[in-house]
Amino acid sequence: MKEVAKVFPKDFLWGGAFAANQMEGAYLEDGKGLCVADINEFRDDIDIKKKYNDEVTSVYIKEALESKTRIFPKRRGINFYHTYKDDLKLLGKDGLGLKTYRTSINWARIFPNGDETEPNEAGLKFYDDLFDEVIKNGMVPMVTMSHYEMPLYLTQHYKGWYSKEVIDFFTRYGMVILDRYQEKVKYWIIVNQINLILHESFNHLGVPEDAVEHVTEAKYQAVVNEMISCAQITKYSHEKYPDVQIGMMLCGGPAYAATCKPEDVFATMRHNQMEYFYGDVLLRGHIPGYAIRYFADLNLHIELTPDEEEVLKNTCDFFSFSYYYTRLCSKESFEDGNSVYRNPELPANPWGWSIDPVGLRTLLNEFYDRYRKPIYITENGVGLYDEPGEDGNVHDPYRTEYYKAHIEQMKEAIKDGVDLRGYYAWGPLDIVSCSSSEMSKRYGFIYVDLDDYGKGSGKRIPKDSYQWYKKVIESNGEIL
In angstroms, rounded to a whole number, what is the distance separating the alpha carbons of residues 35 and 32? 9
Which DSSP letter does residue 3 get? P
**Which residue would you say has higher pLDDT here, 336 or 314?**
314
Query: Which residue from 270, 276, 271, 256 is spatially nearest to 368, judged by alpha carbons?
Result: 276
Out of 2-11, 18-27, 57-66, 424-433, which region has the weakest mean confidence (pLDDT)?
A: 2-11
The pLDDT-based confidence of 136 (bands split at 50, 70, 90) is: very high
Q: Find the radius of gyration of the CA atoms of the chain.
A: 21
The runs of H, that is alpha helices, within 182-288 are: 201-205, 215-240, 262-284
pLDDT tens for 331-376 read 999 999 888 999 999 999 999 999 999 999 999 999 999 999 999 9
For the chain, report the end-to-end CA distance as a whole number of angstroms: 31
Other CB atoms closer than 10 Å to residue 68's CB: what's the count? 4
What is the H or E stretch that residue 425 is in? strand 420-426
Cα 398 to Cα 82, 100, 230, 401: the distances in Å are: 31, 24, 38, 5
Out of 145-154, 195-204, 206-215, which region has the weakest mean confidence (pLDDT)?
A: 195-204
Query: Which residue from 260, 294, 266 is spatially nearest to 280, judged by alpha carbons?
Result: 294
Residue 379 known to be catalytic: yes
pLDDT tens for 391-441 read 999 999 999 999 999 999 999 999 999 999 999 999 999 999 998 999 999
Question: What confidence score (pLDDT) does residue 198 get?
Answer: 82
Average pLDDT over residues 155-163: 97
CB 455 within 8 Å of CB 71:
no
Question: What confidence score (pLDDT) does residue 200 get?
Answer: 79
The runs of H, that is alpha helices, within 117-190 are: 121-136, 152-157, 165-181
**Which residue would you say has higher pLDDT here, 148 or 45?**
148
Cα-flanking dihedrals φ and ψ of residue 415, to 5°? -65, -25
Cα-flanking dihedrals φ and ψ of residue 378, to 5°? -95, 0
What is the H or E stretch that residue 145 is in? strand 140-146
Report the amino acid identity of residue 477. Answer: G
Pick the CATH number of 13-474 from 3.40.50.300, 3.30.950.10, 3.20.20.80, 3.40.710.10: 3.20.20.80
pLDDT, averaged across the chain: 96
**Which residue would you say has higher pLDDT here, 131 or 200?**
131
What is the H or E stretch that residue 423 is in? strand 420-426
pLDDT tens for 217-274 read 999 999 999 999 999 999 999 999 999 999 999 999 779 999 999 999 999 999 999 9
CB 440 within 8 Å of CB 388:
no
Residue 54 pLDDT > 80: no
Question: What confidence score (pLDDT) does residue 50 get?
Answer: 58
In angstroms, rounded to a whole number, what is the distance separating the alpha carbons of residues 174 and 20? 16
Question: What confidence score (pLDDT) does residue 53 get?
Answer: 64
The pLDDT-based confidence of 44 (bands split at 50, 70, 90) is: confident
pTM of the shown model: 0.96
In angstroms, rounded to a whole number, what is the distance separating the alpha carbons of residues 431 and 40? 14
Question: What confidence score (pLDDT) does residue 254 get?
Answer: 78
Half-sphere exposure of 132 (CA within 13 A, CB side): 7
Candidate list 379, 390, 438, 474, residue with the active-site label:
379
Residue 110 pLDDT > 70: yes
In angstroms, rounded to a whole number, what is the distance separating the alpha carbons of residues 419 and 328? 27
Which DSSP letter does residue 147 get? S
Query: Which residue from 39, 48, 15, 26 is spatially nearest to 438, judged by alpha carbons?
Result: 48
What does the domain layout of the chain look like in residue ranges?
A: 13-474
Residue 49 pLDDT > 80: no
Residue 164 pLDDT > 90: yes
In angstroms, rounded to a whole number, what is the distance separating the alpha carbons of residues 19 and 149? 9
